[in-house]
Each structure stands twice: as structure tokens, then as C-alpha cells.
Chain A
Amino acid sequence: MSATGRVAAGRVRAWLERHAIGLTALVTAGILVVMLYLPVGVVFVEAVLEDGTPTLGHFADVLTDPFYFGILADVFAEPLAIGTHLGSLAGWLAAISISLTLEYPLPGVDLPVPWLAVDTPGVRKGLFGFTAYQAALSTVASVVLGLPAAYVLANYEFYGRRTLRSLTILPFVMPGILVAVGFYAMFGRAGTLNGLLGTVGLGPYAFIETSPLAIVILAHAFYNAPLVARLTVAAWESVDARTVETARSLGASERRAFRDVVVPQLAPAVLTGALLTFIFTFMTFPIVLALGGLQLATVEVWIYDRIQRLDYAEAATLAILETILSLGLTYAYLRYESAQTGFARAPSPPPKERLVPDLRTALSPRRLAIFGYGLVALVLFVGPMASLVVGGFTDGSGLTLRNYSFLLERQLEGASFQTLPLPAIRNSLLFGVATLLIAVPMGVVISVLTARTGRSGTIVDTLAMLPLAVSGIVFGIGLLQGLVFGIPLPGGWRFQVTGAVAIVVAHAVAAYPFVTRNVSPLLTNLDPAMTESARALGASRFRALFDVELPLVANGIVAGAAFAFAISIGEFSSTVILASGGESYTMPVAVERYLGRRSGPAIAMGTLLLAVTAASFVVIDRVGGRYEL
């Protein structure tokens, strides 16, 4: 290459470097328009149209229907009748009674517990009210069950810690049907837990029958507590331990230093986890009805039904209300997050303590509490998965390999129109890696563009969370109508997107918010002086980002990348639509297709899905671990 050529190449590189962030942002915007705004818009527009003319009638219908909004429907119907509403509120408050009693909450155990009973007159919550109520309970349960896991994983060293941390992703990729069957297999009257309790003469207890709502909330925690834990561990390992040491050397007690120095650095991650959990469980679909029945129906159940009955207007109206609520919460949270500018310089996490250094320490109250939590986690997280896997190896007459020989036979002799296990595994892994490669730059660029930019950045950031805030069912039907059927263009052209590429991009759209939400809190927490000095020394914005900021938030990027991969592996609703009629099916699609009057083949495929995901994550975390810290 000639000298001029080298100069030209150097110029191109310099140009690219100067515009790298802008270009990535442009590509991101393009992807979002085609794969998100277009399909969602195609469905949402139905909510404001009646025979082609704009209307708000659908919203009025839904908002004033007590079935959807309970007592709030009256308020929406007559917002100005304030006197009437206050009157009914006063009447309601007057009817509240509080009593203190002794209760025996454990069946068969003579242990009285003082019980403060608040007896409120019934409030008609409506579908939206109940949906929010169960989501709030699920969020609390997920945070309560997730934080101890984060504490243990971030602060203690023990054999298998890294592997365990990798495996916390598993619940995330499990198809809903398998979680439901797993929960029944673990907590059912003839389930594993009752079997174990039976060996010590207890039970059987009707865990699920006693409180279906409690079981649904635990199932939500099964999915989301690991999410909270993963987000928090990543933040905990990014804590600048020197700040703690400084506080201690200035005389703060260990507790005080934790409260004033560590907690503020963890809070954004914990709240992010809580926010995501609330949004997910607000839009929960198969699991509520699978475990709780129609009495526990949520808004998403009605959206699905309306779509099936081709009533797109009402489905879209319900979905828009869901989205407004989710985005509202997201905005409120992001305002808080962006106010949390910190002065962290580089992660130097506190050293990990050995969990069991000796027997005496092992019997200390803190260690015993950890072991107690471990037992709970074993029952709640490992139990359903293990029961499911074992169920795939048994039938009425004992052990069997029949379900696995089905998979083998299908692989070896399956016809071209059938779903084969190996292509499903291969597609899942390929799509997962491709998703990661697209979603990470997308997520990071949004973090970079919105961090520390005030209110306008917060609004962009909020809108960027749209993939999480849109009903999965509506997104799916939008993909079908907008991209699979295609949009007619002038001149007889039709704009269509399907197949493997569409699947990967749809996965990336669903996944990038996880990257953003992992990276943003760490980025806002960084001391802005560092980038500023790099820029002052002549580094381009891209250089400063690449050489200074990103290495400091590598923990968040790796955590986000892991989520992106997991989202891709577990994604079902848009994959099944885009893979329809082709060979781009993935493992969860195969699980669904093998489900028939016999559950065994689907369970065997589900077990394969868990095994492949577990193996991938051990590898990902090992590889990713090299870039951490």
C-alpha cells in the first residue's frame, strides 16, 4: 500500500472513530423503527380508529368499565363529581376495622402468632387493579428472595460460586408451560416436596390449593428473583471498596459505612431489578392461569383473548394502557437514577470472605441465616427444575428413557417437515450469539447518549425501554401483520421481513434494554472528571468511551450481554411467528411443538434446553469473567 493509501485509510479510520457513536445510534434507530415502532404501531393504531376515523371511544369504553378498572371506573366516568367520590371514600374508610388476634399459621403446628387483622370492606379492583396488586406482591417477593442471593454471591467465596452465579440465569429461559409443570411436580399434593416431608412423617399439604395467589407470586419470584440477584451482584462487584475504607478510616462503623457508602451504589441496581420485575409481572401471561386459574386473570390474558377473537381495537387499547403505565413507572425511576451522579472511579470490590472457613464460623448466626436461605432457594429454585427433569425420566411403571429415545429417533429419522432437536439447539445458540453482538452495541450506545443529559435524556431513555413495556402478544401480532404479511408499498412492492435475520433482530430489540439497564447505573455512577480529562487531553468522544468508561463498566456490559443471550435463548412469542413455516425454529419452539397428549417429549426437550443453556452460561461467564474488573 502506498503512503497516500495509508493516509487515506487512516483518514477513513479517523472519520469512523469520530462518528462511531453517531453511526451506531443511527443503526440502532433504524432497527427500532423497523422492528419495534412499525409492528407495534400497526396494532396500536387500531385503538384510535373506528372504521377509519379517529376516535377515543375505545379508551372511554375500557376506562369506564368496572370490569377493567373497578371502582376507578366511576371516577373515570365522571371525573368532575368530586363530592360523590370523596363521599364514597369516606364511607369506605369508616368501614375499616382493625383487630388483634392469635393465629396458628402453620397447619398442625401449635405455634400461636399475634396477628394484626385489618378488615377492609371489599374494593372492586378490576382487572387492572388486580394485575397491579399481584405485580406489586411479586416484586416484593422477588426482591426479598433475590437480595440475599446477591449478598452471598458478591461477598463470600465458596466452592462452585462462579458456576452457581452462572446458573442463576436458568429460570429466565424456561418456557412458561415447563415452569408450571415443574411447580406442580414440586409443590403438588403428590409432588417432590410432599414426598420429602412424608419421609419425616409430615403432610401431605395442599400448598397450591391453599393459596393459588401465593404460588403464582412464588412462580414470579422464581423468574425474577434471579434477575434482581444478577443485577445486584454486578453492581456490588463494581463497588469501589476504597470509598468504604475511606469512610471507615474516618471513623464510620461497619454498618454506617455500608449504609452510607455501599447502599447508595447498590440502590440503582436493586430498584432497576424491582422495576423490571414489576413490569414483567404486570404483563405476566401464561403462568398466572397455569397455576392460579382464571380467577387470577390479568390484563394480558384479556389481550390474548381479544387478539384470538380478532378484536384488535380492544386488544390495542388494553395494551396501550399497559404500556403507558409501564413507561410512566420507568420514567419515574429514571428520573431518580439520573439524579444519582456518583464519584466512583474504578471497581475494586471488597474481598470475598470464605463462606465456611472453619466449623465455629459456620455455626455463627450470620452463616446459619445464609444456610437457611440456601435451603429456601434449594426448594424454590432448584426444586421445580429438578422435579421437572426427573419427571422426564419416569413414567407410571418407573424409570424410562422413552422420552429421550423419542428425541434421538426424531433426530435420526425425522422428516423435513418435522422439528428436529439438533437444528433447534444450533439455531438457539447461533441466534443467541448474534443477538448479543447486536444488542450490546445498541444498549451501550443508548446508555452513553442518555446518561447525564438531564430531562431530555431521561425521556429518550424511557422510550428506549419500550420493548419491555409493550405486551409481548401485541408485539407478536404486530410482527405478523407488519413484517410477515408485509406492508404494501406503491408500485406493487411489498415490504416483508421474516426468517433468521428477522428473528435475531427481534431478539436484539427485546434484549438491548437489559444491556442499557445494566450499564446506565454504572455509567452515571462514574466520576465525570475522568472522561473530561481524557477529552481535555485530546481523546475523541469514542476514544474516551472505549478506553476510559467502558472498561470501568465492564461488569455491567458482561451482565447485560448475558441477559441478551438468555433473552434470545428463551424468547418464544415472536420467534414462533417469525419461524413459522421455516427451519429457523429454536429450542423453546421445539418444546411447544413436541407438546401433545403425552408431555414426556416436551419435558425431554425442555431438559435439553436447560442443559444447553447451563453449559453456555458457564462458558459465557468464564469468558466474560476475563473482561471483568
Chain B
Amino acid sequence: MRRRTFVGAIGSGAALGLAGCLTQDGDESDDSNGDPEPEELDLEGTLEVVTYESMIDGDNPAGPWLKEAFEEEYPDAELEWVQLPDQGIGHYINQAQGGQEIDADVYFGLNIDDLVSVDDNLEEGGLFRGLNADRIERSSRIRDGLDMGDPHDRVLAYDTGYISLVFDETEVDEPETFEDLTEAAYEDALIAQNAQTSDPGQAFLLWTIDAFGEDGYLDYWRDLRENGVRAIEDWSESYYGAYMNEERPMVVSYSTDQVFASAEGNDLSRHQIGFLNDQGYANPEGMAIFEDADSVDLAYEFLDFVLSNDAQAEIAERNVQFPAVEDEYVDLDDEFDQYAHVPPEAVTVGYDDLRGNLDEWVDDWAREFASQ
């Protein structure tokens, strides 16, 4: 506690000194430019990066590689992974509401709906810093369509997944459209997930909202329900429990499914990818710097580093997600290209639409589904 106060005092003193030199008082009010680049970067010390479990703890995760490579490039820095608490972004919203200082510098694995949750519960544009894109050279490499739509420029995508159907071609034909799923041929065939708790479940729900609109999606789900869709708690149970024990021939999952299936030596006939309406729902994962961050310069360097060729390839292959940068800036294994499928068209419901609506959409859907 005492150390922080001391550092804080020195920090604000330095900032005052700087402001005195540059005499640019009015500039601070405009935060859309984010953090101005200091003349000398402070690249020493510890960078605390919060991330979800499978980034550091799963099978062959990308986290350890990122740490090693980053520390090699910035020898005076140490990257410290912090496991995202169980409650996810809610944990940090609670901390901010309680007036607690947040120790971490970077949040790695931020979704659009996390940002919406931040802005719905804290002040507009809160918790994270508005990023100064000029300080992240490689940010221009990010593909069009992976702009996460934050009006406050707090987040950059580092990879994306596409939600699609995975089906067994020996049991059902590939469904072409959403309407197909309500036909008799697909009766009692589909496993989805609970949009309240599961990321792919929520993505699939948002995909139907994109397809049928705010006023039409509940009707569509009523039809789906009459045709016997089941919404199971989480992806793991729906996939490893129900789908892989052949309860049903179709499941809402990821378009990278065959990467795992082929590595496990499974027969790929049960791992066919179906893009409804020739679409997949894009779930970009982003990174952001906490407002309270101590190591701001290092954090900026880290964001830039993550978008480099090697880091993008490693994240994609270990995390089994697609890179966020254009093809020319990343080299992927042929095997990854062969088994990871990209939809002809990617859709996503952006920040503006989600804002103020998401909770209600999900709640209306869940009440419709759960009412006996």
C-alpha cells in the first residue's frame, strides 16, 4: 500500500514536470487520441496480464510462449500472467464499483459484450484506456470486420473464432439456412448451449438475432423449440457429453472443430462444418489496457507484439482460433489451413446494437425457453 502511494506521487510529479515542459494544458480533455507517446519509453518492470484459463492452463496453451518471446524481446520486462477470476469481467466491474485499485495492466481476452457490460454498469468508456493507435504500429494489420466497434477505442482484436454448426454427415444432410433447422428432417437433431452462461450459446443466439431481427428471433426460437432443440449448459458438456456420445447429429460449435478432431484421430464424417446462410458468427477476442495500469508503455509494446507475425501464428495454432491480421502478415501451417474453416461471410452484432439490449435479449430468450 505504501509503495503504491510513493510510486503514485513520483508518477504525478513526473507528469506535472512533463506538462510544464510542453505547456499543452488543453490537450488532456480530448481522450480519443488516447495516451500520447512519451519521449522515452519506460520498458522496465512487470507487466501484469489478465487472461482466461485456457490461454495459460489448458493443453499446449499460447500463454507460456507469449511470455517467453515477449521477455526475450524486452529483456528488462517481466510478463506476469494473472488468471481471470471466475466471474470474468464482472470481477473488475465490481472492483471498480467498490473503489478498489486494479493491479493488472492488460486484459487479454475481452469480448464485445464485456465492453457493453462495462459501459452498462460503470461510466461510459470506463475501466480501460482509450488506445492511441499511433503507438501500436501493427494495429493497421488487423483485418477489416474485426473492428470491435468500441466508440471509445479501448480494444484491439488479436484473434477470432467463428461459431458454426458441426454435424455428422452420415446422419443428416448439411442444413443450408436457419429455416432448414425447423424442418422435419432436423427434428430432435440440434444441440445448442444456454445463452445465459455459454459463449458459443450466446453467439448463436446473437446470430439468430442478426438473421431474424429483434422482433423475429423469439418466433424463430419457438419453431426451433417445437422441432426439439436442446440448450445444454456449456459447450464442454454439449460437445464432449452429448455430441460425442452420439446423442444427436448436430451441435453449435466452432469452425475449427476439425483441427481437434484430426489430432484426436477421429473420423471426420462426424466433424463436418455447416455455415448457415453461408455465414459464421464471428467472436473476436480483444485486448485492452486498464485505466489504472502502472506499466502503460510496456502494455502498448505488448499489444503491438501480439500482432507480430510469429505471435499471431502461435496464438492461432495453439489457441485454435484465426489470426486477427491480414493473411500477408502471418504464416500458418498447412494443416491449420486445411482443417480450420472460414465462413464465406462473417457476421457479428456490434457494440452499438448490443448496448442496452443484450441482457434483455438473453433474458427474454431464456424465459421463453425455460417456462414450463
Query: Footprint of B on A, CB under 8 Å?
Result: 67, 70, 124-127, 129-130, 177, 180-181, 183-185, 188-191, 206, 208-209, 212, 286, 289-291, 293-295, 297, 301, 304-305, 307-310, 395-398, 406, 415, 417-419, 476-477, 480-481, 485, 576-577, 580-581, 592-601
Q: B266 an interface residue at 8 Å Cβ cutoff?
A: yes
Which 8 A/B pairs are nearest by Cβ-Cβ distance? A188-B245, A397-B265, A596-B58, A396-B266, A289-B233, A396-B265, A184-B241, A190-B246
* Shortest distance between the CB of A460 and any CB in chain B (Å): 33
Query: Within the complex, which residue of A206, A295, A418, A598 is in contact with B247, where a contact is CB–CB below 8 Å?
Result: A206
6 other A-B residue contacts (CB within 8 Å) besides A310-B90, A480-B94, A598-B58: A127-B370, A129-B372, A181-B240, A294-B230, A305-B366, A485-B95
| Cross-chain contact B241 with A183 (CB below 8 angstroms) | yes
Q: B320 an interface residue at 8 Å Cβ cutoff?
A: yes
| Cross-chain contact A600 with B59 (CB below 8 angstroms) | yes
Query: Within the complex, which residue of A67, A184, A309, A480 is in contact with B245, where a contact is CB–CB below 8 Å?
Result: A184
Query: Within the complex, which residue of B100, B231, B232 is in contact with A485, where a contact is CB–CB below 8 Å?
Result: B100
| Cross-chain contact B367 with A67 (CB below 8 angstroms) | yes
| Cross-chain contact A395 with B245 (CB below 8 angstroms) | no
Query: Footprint of A on B, CB under 8 Å?
Result: 53-54, 56-59, 61, 63-64, 67, 80-83, 85-88, 90-91, 93-95, 98, 100, 117, 121, 188, 194, 196-197, 230-234, 236-237, 240-242, 244-248, 254, 260-261, 264-267, 320, 359, 363, 366-367, 369-372
What CA separation (Å) do A153 and B263 show in the bound complex?
A: 46
* Shortest distance between the CB of B363 and any CB in chain A (Å): 8
- B contact residues around A481 at 8 Å (CB): 94, 98
Query: Within the complex, which residue of A70, A125, A308 is in contact with B197, where a contact is CB–CB below 8 Å?
Result: A308
What CA separation (Å) do A594 and B371 show in the bound complex?
A: 34
| Cross-chain contact B247 with A180 (CB below 8 angstroms) | no
| Cross-chain contact A580 with B194 (CB below 8 angstroms) | no
Main secondary structure, interface of B, reads: mixed
- B contact residues around A206 at 8 Å (CB): 247
* Shortest distance between the CB of B70 and any CB in chain A (Å): 14
Query: Within the complex, which residue of B59, B63, B242 is in contact with A188, where a contact is CB–CB below 8 Å?
Result: B242
What CA separation (Å) do A477 and B196 show in the bound complex?
A: 18
| Cross-chain contact B232 with A293 (CB below 8 angstroms) | yes
| Cross-chain contact B94 with A597 (CB below 8 angstroms) | no
- B contact residues around A191 at 8 Å (CB): 245
* Shortest distance between the CB of A213 and any CB in chain B (Å): 11
| Cross-chain contact A601 with B231 (CB below 8 angstroms) | no
* Shortest distance between the CB of B131 and any CB in chain A (Å): 25
Query: Within the complex, which residue of B56, B86, B94, B197 is in contact with A418, where a contact is CB–CB below 8 Å?
Result: B56
| Cross-chain contact B81 with A295 (CB below 8 angstroms) | no
Query: Within the complex, which residue of A70, A126, A189 is in contact with B246, where a contact is CB–CB below 8 Å?
Result: A189
What CA separation (Å) do A125 and B372 show in the bound complex?
A: 7
| Cross-chain contact A294 with B53 (CB below 8 angstroms) | no
| Cross-chain contact B260 with A597 (CB below 8 angstroms) | yes
- Chain B's closest residue to A130 (CB) is B372
Q: A124-B372, A185-B245, A597-B54 are in contact. Are A290 and B260 (CB under 8 A)?
A: no
Q: A417-B80, A418-B56 are in contact. Are A395 and B265 (CB under 8 A)?
A: yes
- Chain B's closest residue to A481 (CB) is B94
Query: Within the complex, which residue of B240, B261, B266, B371 is in contact with A599, where a contact is CB–CB below 8 Å?
Result: B240
- A contact residues around B80 at 8 Å (CB): 417
What CA separation (Å) do A290 and B243 show in the bound complex?
A: 12
* Shortest distance between the CB of A159 and any CB in chain B (Å): 34
What CA separation (Å) do A127 and B57 show in the bound complex?
A: 37
| Cross-chain contact B237 with A177 (CB below 8 angstroms) | yes
| Cross-chain contact A294 with B90 (CB below 8 angstroms) | no
- A contact residues around B320 at 8 Å (CB): 597
* Shortest distance between the CB of B15 and any CB in chain A (Å): 25
What CA separation (Å) do A580 and B359 show in the bound complex?
A: 27
| Cross-chain contact B90 with A181 (CB below 8 angstroms) | no
What CA separation (Å) do A208 and B265 show in the bound complex?
A: 27
What CA separation (Å) do A190 and B244 show in the bound complex?
A: 8
- Chain A's closest residue to B359 (CB) is A309
5 sample A-B contacts, Cβ–Cβ < 8 Å, listed by A number = A293-B232, A294-B366, A395-B264, A406-B59, A480-B91
Q: A397-B265, A417-B80, A601-B59 are in contact. Are A485 and B98 (CB under 8 A)?
A: yes
- A contact residues around B188 at 8 Å (CB): 209
* Shortest distance between the CB of A494 and any CB in chain B (Å): 9
- Chain B's closest residue to A403 (CB) is B59
- B contact residues around A601 at 8 Å (CB): 58-59
| Cross-chain contact A295 with B230 (CB below 8 angstroms) | yes
- A contact residues around B95 at 8 Å (CB): 485
What CA separation (Å) do A188 and B247 show in the bound complex?
A: 6
- Chain B's closest residue to A133 (CB) is B372
Query: Within the complex, which residue of A209, A293, A576, A598 is in contact with B231, where a contact is CB–CB below 8 Å?
Result: A293
- Chain B's closest residue to A484 (CB) is B85
